[in-house]
Structure 1
Amino acid sequence: MRNKLRAATALLGAALLAGTPQAIALTGAADHATGADAAFSSPVSAADPAYEVLVFSKTAGFRHSSIDDGITALRDLGAEHNFTVDATEDAGAFTGANLARYEAVVFLSTTGDVLNGAQQTAFEQYIQGGGGYVGIHAAADTEYDWPFYEGLAGALFHSHPAIQSATVKVEDRAHDATAHLGTSWQRTDEWYNYRSNPRTTARVLASLDESSYSGGNMSGDHPISWCKDYQGGRAFYTGGGHTDESYAEPAFRRHLLGGLRWAADRTQADCRPETGYQTLFDGSSTNGWKQAGPGGFTLADSTLTSYGGLGMLWYSAQEFKGDYSLKLDWKMAGDDNSGVFVGFPASDDPWSAVNNGYEIQIDATDVPERTTGAVYGYKSADIAARDAALNPPGEWNTYEIRVTGERLEVFLNGQKINDFTNTDPARSLAQGHIGIQNHGDGDDVSFRNVRIKHSGSTPGPRSGEVKGVNGKCLDVDGSQTADGTKIQLWTCSGSDAQKWTVADGTMRALGKCLDVSGGGSADGTRIQLWSCNGTGAQQWSPQADGSVRNPQTGKCLDASGGTWNDGTPVHLWSCHTGPNQKWTLP
């Protein structure tokens, strides 16, 4: 059932045909694509080994007219991408022997209780044996009394408003289901509310901006598509697909294909839950970063792509001390060369990072200690584990680089591939900067979504006043603690209402978090106090120019108006150079 064929070098020749998209100059404006069909530009880079998929669409409750369109779309995708589809509404297909034929099983807008006890057991054993699950739309309105299924699906249906257009915020642009999309996706569908939030158990790929439509009830954190590893198998879910028209949308069909490829183990991704990361590069600008050496990086579609060199783009705004987890997404165009540096001192000489830090290599075809996943020149990756986790050139990958004291662990698409301990007294992983390499002409490597999560002593929570324009303090109105309390400017007084703790990308006062109301992104969106929930609406990234950016929206914390008296509310606003967006943090 699991025909992996994951050796990267075997796929390299086909991947080289993918080519490299033309980029724009770093000084140009970043492209935040909002029309998904316009952003649809991510073909599968090499043919997948043939496989079989079971599409199950039995309904014991409401029946969606779009089921037939969904089956047709999946069959069309199969004809284009080397898999065959068996479609059935016969629950008798759920036997151990029959399920073993399939790399993935799609629950296409199933409703109600569709499997009996023996069939449920067979499906559980299929997943536990490494099988794949894809849930589409009303798959979340299925099997409410089967705890295994609720865990597999990630969340179950609660309610829905009328069909309407909404803004989908794309949180993960490395997964094959969402890599083709822009940072936001405007589309029309029936948008489910769910009984629970899957964020703590799954990697959220996309969520809804509840301020962009009516009827969302998930307090501003509204996942709509996610993936997870579950009891030995893989589970992908998307809330889209109610309307007949969905299955004719190229971007939605590509979304389904990516989820199916991942569930069928034809592409890899990091589907571990992720919260608490501070964004270092959010796609909108390179504030806080500096180029060392020749060459550089172009910025387009919220993506940095290397050119020329040998040089390095390094994060100069902060030196990292103690333990941390660094994550970033990367893609090679072909047989290219780059790397991620950690643990080096501040310097405008890229060779300082080479000589004083450590490089986690990105290179498809070099010798083991200098190829992808290696600590360059020191320790090869576990090649078998690396090949099993690696996507070929033309597809995105995710690194986690975890530093614990002098220990450096490398995870590729969620799988551990290297474990190295520094014993060189002249080097130390316990403190230093991070950077990404531009290796030379013709080495085209792209990066997205650079983020870091501190632990232990790095750099430790910092508490005190947050001062803004005219020396006034960021203040919780009336020292109230109710969710939704206004955040404002006020003459500094030393009160607890003005004592903020900055840690793990959040800003906290009175036990609650600084929050973008409803997870909105429009200029003027209210900033408020809210119970901490780990969402992007509560993530704040200090910038080198003194602004404080919300990475999810790319917009800044802003004191409204132009007089800035006591009581002036703060809100979200497009970033500029004005004094009302300059903040001094503790």
Structure 2
Amino acid sequence: MKRSLAAALAASLLLLPACPAVAADAPYDVLVFSKTAGFRHDSIAVGIQAIRDLGAANSFTVTATEDANAFTTANLAQYEVIVFLNTTGDVLNDTQQAAFEAKMRSGAGYVGVHAAADTEYSWPFYGNLMGAWFASHPAIQQANVRVENRATAATSVLPQTWTRTDEWYNYQTNVRSTARVLANLDESSYTGGGMGADHPHSWCKTFEGARSFYTGGGHTQASYSEPNFRAHLLGGIRYAAGRTKADCRPETGYTTLYNGSTTGWSQAGPGSFTNSDATLTSTGGMGLFWYSAKQFTSYSLKLDWRLPGDDNSGIFIGFPPSTDPWSAVDNGYEVQIDATDAADRTTGSVYTFQSANLAARDAALNPVGEWNSFEILVEGERLRVYLNGSLINDFTNTNPVRSLAGHIGIQNHGAGDDVSFRNIRIKELGAPPADQTIQAESFSSVQGAQAFTKAGANNGQTLGFIDPGDWSAYNGVNLTGVTTFRARVVSGGPGGTIQVRTGSPTGTILGSVAVPNTGSWTTFANVQTGLTGVPSGNQNLYLTYTGTGTGLFDVDDFTLVKGTPPTGTGPIVGLANKCLDVNNAGTADGTKVQLWTCNASAAQQWTRNGQTWRALGKCLDVSGSGTADGTKVQLWTCNGTGAQNWTAGANSSLVNSNSGKCLDIAGGSSTDGTQAQIFTCNGGANQRWTTP
């Protein structure tokens, strides 16, 4: 009877629409793995056929196997996505697990379906990648799935309440703190739920370079004949393959401003927005739909948007209450939505004030017809824009007439400029802590260095005569909330490194920043670095100085910056608008790092982690901890050494803290494949980088 039902369902799948993507994806290859060492689902065969059908209509090939011997480094190299389809129990040995881990760390994608959560309980990497392990389930029955994130390809076509029949898993842990929950179960709609009001059912996340998608659905054979479930599964596969982007960072603590109800909103000027299916869609006019109920100061605003074509809209922030939409233009700032306009007025730009990082923007942007997500992070007068989870703009308002504090609104630009918005929500952050600037010569105690009167210095003096081994101390400094150290420096000498410590001159290093030769002893520059492990409260702060030679540099003043540290994943863009690239996406220690035409591949996706830059699960590294000009830059296992620490230097440079030299493209050549190296900082175009 089961074999007959499976055959009938498999045949019926051929008659169903295959949920084509909005635009044709670049082709890719998917491995479907369905080995079981425990319970065997009778839906595996129709699940494999469903994925084959989706692939035939959506630019990917499918190889299905239950042979764990397929998990070798060489064999896995041909696949962009690995699907665990209703696997159960321990299905891979240690060698096979190692090959899978390496594949995931290379920037590949994972999709887990249903019993993938009932697999490999003693394998921590798999558990972290997949999200949460199975605990129990009640009988198969109908339930309501609440779709809370409708901005991803896996969920955008689903209704807010998705009623269907399946086997509903309870999980051992709640994944919300480590993944972006896409859908959750309404336990009041069925019996046997065991997780309460917050019961995640589907989610996405990134882990050690891999993109991961999981759905708790897919127990029954009938699941794979449901158009909505097939669309859900297809979207998850496309996300795992990197063919569609999504913000899969964990999210908690947001208050809904719009998710179907327009209470608190007002229309300024002509035109309006229709409101259907918890979606606002612009119509006519040149106006602004603004949240009139409240003004905001420091906050994280998130919303989802979609353009059907070459259209125009934007999100306005920091404007006073007004029934005139031009008041927002004249008094606030607009984060633009229009991918085809000029650099300072295209998607992600602060309209006419600052362009987005266009390479990072292009790598994160979904095409017209697909949903995108913005986070607009405002802390005081600092504005950061994240597109689908990637930082694409970092802007500071310096105009005393304008402010980032005020109302927020969405623009209806005019007839023919169509845009839709969903799920507008906000998290208020409270008043941003004040940054603290300290004159370097105002030390509590010092070894070696001396105050020096210098023209152009703030307060008229610098801390000068700095030699290797010198230090300066500043007692009773409040370090609560400090995330970044920024110093104003000047050097006509060899330069060196500032180390930030607490407690003593040999205390734990919180961060290091290289100081280059700034061009002369009268040419000042700013250098900065992120800090980690910063203790709270009043502390005795020590700056220690290292380098080679004497008369390294002067420090004018330094600022302890408070607030959220910069994060984000994306390309590092340099000479000729080309990207820092890992050769052939290799993951072996010593793999060449080079300049290459930007292509949004995993080999060009770098993530800032403290003072390191990571791609494919490994770190940007100076070979052999070398300090000589021309020492090659490579990929290497992260090891915490100075060879892997990079800080922001003058002229948009990235400075290696161990050598005090800049990330450089050999010979200033923009030819694809040119080796990255370190070289004495000189301000050249081949040492200038735009980071995510």
Report the count of equivalent residues.
Answer: 417
Question: What is the CA–CA distance in structure 2 between the aligned matches of 1:303 and 1:221, rounded to whole Å?
Answer: 24
Give secondary structure in 2 for the equivalent of 1:320. coil
2:392 to 399, 402, 417: 417
Q: Is this contact kept in 2: 1:173–1:179, CA < 8 A? A: yes
Question: What is the CA–CA distance in structure 2 between the aligned matches of 1:411 and 1:95, rounded to whole Å?
Answer: 37
User: Per-residue displacement from partner, 1:121-171 (whole Å, max 9, x unpaired)?
Assistant: 111111111010000000000000001111111000001100000000000
Q: What is the one-letter code of the residue matched to 2:81?
A: A
Q: Which residue matches 1:534? A: none
TM-fit CA distance, 1:364: 2.0
When normalised by structure 2's length, the TM-score is: 0.60
Q: Is this contact kept in 2: 1:332–1:446, CA < 8 A? A: yes
TM-fit CA distance, 1:44: 1.9
Q: Does residue 315 in structure 1 map to residue 278 in structure 2?
A: no
Q: Which residue matches 1:239? A: 216
Q: Which residue matches 1:69? A: 46
Structure 1: 5+ residue stretches without partners: 1-39, 459-586
Q: Is this contact kept in 2: 1:42–1:180, CA < 8 A? A: no
Q: Which residue matches 1:330? A: 305
Residues 154-553 of structure 1 correspond to what in structure 2 (within 5 A)?
Answer: 154-283=131-260, 285-321=261-297, 323-429=298-404, 431-457=405-431
Cα RMSD after superposing both structures: 1.3
Q: Is this contact kept in 2: 1:42–1:179, CA < 8 A? A: no
User: Per-residue displacement from partner, 1:338-389 (whole Å, max 9, x unpaired)?
Assistant: 0000000011100000000000000021111111010000111111100110
Q: Does residue 53 in structure 1 map to residue 53 in structure 2?
A: no
Q: What is the one-letter code of the residue matched to 1:435?
A: G
Give secondary structure in 2 for the equivalent of 1:346. coil
Question: What is the CA–CA distance in structure 2 between the aligned matches of 1:417 and 1:41, rounded to whole Å?
Answer: 34
- Seen in structure 2, the aligned counterparts of structure 1 residues 41 and 276 have a Cα distance that, compared at 3 Å, is farther
Q: What is the one-letter code of the residue matched to 2:199?
A: H
Q: Is this contact kept in 2: 1:157–1:195, CA < 8 A? A: yes
Question: What is the CA–CA distance in structure 2 between the aligned matches of 1:388 and 1:100, rounded to whole Å?
Answer: 23
Q: What is the one-letter code of the residue matched to 1:50?
A: P
Question: What is the CA–CA distance in structure 2 between the aligned matches of 1:295 and 1:100, rounded to whole Å?
Answer: 52
Give secondary structure in 2 for the equivalent of 1:280. strand
Q: Which residue matches 2:436? A: none
2:106 to 125, 129, 137: 129
Q: Which residue matches 1:554? A: none
Question: What is the CA–CA distance in structure 1 between the aligned matches of 2:395 and 2:246, rounded to whole Å?
Answer: 23
TM-fit CA distance, 1:282: 1.4
User: Per-residue displacement from partner, 1:547-585 (whole Å, max 9, x unpaired)?
Assistant: xxxxxxxxxxxxxxxxxxxxxxxxxxxxxxxxxxxxxxx
Q: What is the one-letter code of the residue matched to 1:454?
A: E
1:141 to 118, 129, 137: 118
Question: What is the CA–CA distance in structure 1 between the aligned matches of 2:372 and 2:185, rounded to whole Å?
Answer: 24
Give secondary structure in 2 for the equivalent of 1:256. helix
Give secondary structure in 2 for the equivalent of 1:254. helix
Question: What is the CA–CA distance in structure 2 between the aligned matches of 1:437 and 1:44, rounded to whole Å?
Answer: 28
Q: What is the one-letter code of the residue matched to 2:145?
A: V
Counting aligned pairs with the same residue, the percent is 69
Runs of 4+ in 1 over 4 A off after TM superposition: 40-43
Question: What is the CA–CA distance in structure 1 between the aligned matches of 2:106 and 2:174, rounded to whole Å?
Answer: 27
Q: What is the one-letter code of the residue matched to 1:345?
A: P
Q: Is this contact kept in 2: 1:41–1:180, CA < 8 A? A: no
Q: Is this contact kept in 1: 2:19–2:227, CA < 8 A? A: no
Question: What is the CA–CA distance in structure 2 between the aligned matches of 1:456 and 1:320, rounded to whole Å?
Answer: 9
Query: Highest Rg: 1 or 2?
Result: 2
Question: What is the CA–CA distance in structure 1 between the aligned matches of 2:75 and 2:401, rounded to whole Å?
Answer: 60
User: Per-residue displacement from partner, 1:186-243 (whole Å, max 9, x unpaired)?
Assistant: 0000001100000010000000000000000002211110000111111100000000
Q: Is this contact kept in 2: 1:340–1:435, CA < 8 A? A: yes
Higher mean C-alpha deviation, range 43-52 or range 137-146: 43-52
TM-fit CA distance, 1:99: 1.1
Give secondary structure in 2 for the equivalent of 1:403. strand
Residues 74-153 of structure 1 correspond to what in structure 2 (within 5 A)?
Answer: 74-153=51-130
Q: Which residue matches 1:538? A: none
User: Per-residue displacement from partner, 1:21-78 (whole Å, max 9, x unpaired)?
Assistant: xxxxxxxxxxxxxxxxxxx998521100110000000000000000000000000000
Give secondary structure in 1 for the equivalent of 2:142. strand
**Does 1 or 2 have the higher relative contact order (CA < 8 Å, sep 6+)?**
1
Q: What is the one-letter code of the residue matched to 2:219?
A: H
- Seen in structure 2, the aligned counterparts of structure 1 residues 125 and 153 have a Cα distance that, compared at 3 Å, is same
Question: What is the CA–CA distance in structure 1 between the aligned matches of 2:253 and 2:431, rounded to whole Å?
Answer: 15
Question: What is the CA–CA distance in structure 2 between the aligned matches of 1:150 and 1:344, rounded to whole Å?
Answer: 46
Q: What is the one-letter code of the residue matched to 2:342?
A: V
TM-fit CA distance, 1:300: 1.1
When normalised by structure 1's length, the TM-score is: 0.70
Question: What is the CA–CA distance in structure 1 between the aligned matches of 2:179 and 2:19, rounded to whole Å?
Answer: 24
Question: What is the CA–CA distance in structure 2 between the aligned matches of 1:324 and 1:165, rounded to whole Å?
Answer: 39
Structure 2: 5+ residue stretches without partners: 1-16, 433-692
Question: What is the CA–CA distance in structure 1 between the aligned matches of 2:60 and 2:209, rounded to whole Å?
Answer: 22
Question: What is the CA–CA distance in structure 1 between the aligned matches of 2:278 and 2:85, rounded to whole Å?
Answer: 33
